[in-house]
Amino acid sequence: MSKERLLLATTNKGKAKEIESFLSEFPFKIFTLQEVFPKQSFVEEGNTFAENARGKSLFYSHQWEDLILAEDSGLEIEHLKGAPGVLSARFSWPQPTDEKNIRKVLDLMEGVPLDKRKARFVSCIVLSQKGKIIKEIKENVTGLITYEKKGSYGFGYDPIFYYPPLKKTLAELLPEEKNSVSHRGRALKKLKEYLVEAGLP
Ligand code: IMP
C-alpha cells in the first residue's frame, strides 16, 4: 500500500518530533518544510493561534497536492494578560532563544505569588488540502509558572510550566507522559479520532 504524503508545516523541531511520534501508527509518509520548501517561510502575523495555523496550512497549498498539517501554539499567562501568546516563539525578540524567552517570563513574574501564576498552553491544529481547510482543532492545558527552571525534556517553556495533577513541570515528564497531557497531545488525540472517523489516510 502506498503511503499518503503529509506535509508538516512547521520549522520547530521539538514540535515536529512530537507530532511525528503521535502520528506514527498512521500510514503517512511525513515530509517537513526543511525537506520540501527550505527557502520559503510563512510570516506569522495573525492575532490568534487559529489565524496563524490556518495561514501556515494554506500557504503551502498551491505547491503541495496532498495533506498539510499546521499547528500554532503558545503560552498564555493570566497575570501578563495573555502574553506571550502568539508571540511565544519570539518573546525575547530580536534574537529569541528558548533560554531568553524563559528568562524574560521569569523576570516579568518575579515576586508574583503562586495563586497569580496561572497559565495555559494552547495548541491549534489545522489540516488542509488543495487550498481548503478540512479540520480545525483547538486544545489547551492549564498549569502554573514556576519560580525557576526544572527538568530537561521537551522544548520551549516546558521547564517553567508546572502541571499540578502530576506535580511536575512538563520538562520533567517523559515524552509519552507529556503527550498524554499536553495541549498538543490533546489536540493530536482529537485529530487521530477525526482521521479514523473520516477514513484518512
Ligand atoms: P510557533 O512555532 O509559532 O507555534 O511557536 C510556538 C512557541 O510556543 C514555541 O516556540 C514555544 O516557545 C512555545 N510552545 C508551544 N508549545 C510548547 C510546548 O509544548 N512546550 C513549550 N513551549 C511551547
In tens, the pLDDT along 125-138 reads: 999 999 999 999 99
- Listed as ranges, residues in the chain with pLDDT below 50 are none
Q: Is 72 a catalytic residue?
A: yes
Beta pairing partners, 133: 128
**What's the chain's average pLDDT?**
95
Q: Grid coordinates in use for 92?
A: 525575547
Q: What Rg, from alpha-carbon coordinates, does the chain have? A: 17
Position of cell 495563586? 115
**What was the pLDDT predicted at 150?**
98
The atom of ligand 1 lying closest to the CA of 44 is 3
Q: 141 CA to middle of ligand 1, Å?
A: 13
Question: Residue 191 is part of which domain span?
Answer: 4-198
- Nearest Cα neighbor of 69 from 182, 194, 199 is 194
Q: Which three cell numbers stand for residue 13?
A: 523541531
> Which amino acid makes up residue 132?
K
The number of distinct structural domains making up the chain is 1
pLDDT at residue 187, as a whole number: 97
| Per-residue pLDDT at 2 | 67
Nearest atom (ligand 1) to Cα of 74: 8
Cα 185 to middle of ligand 1, angstroms: 13
pTM for the whole structure: 0.95
Question: φ and ψ at 7, to 5 degrees?
Answer: -95, 125
CATH of the domain at 106: 3.90.950.10
pLDDT at 1: 53
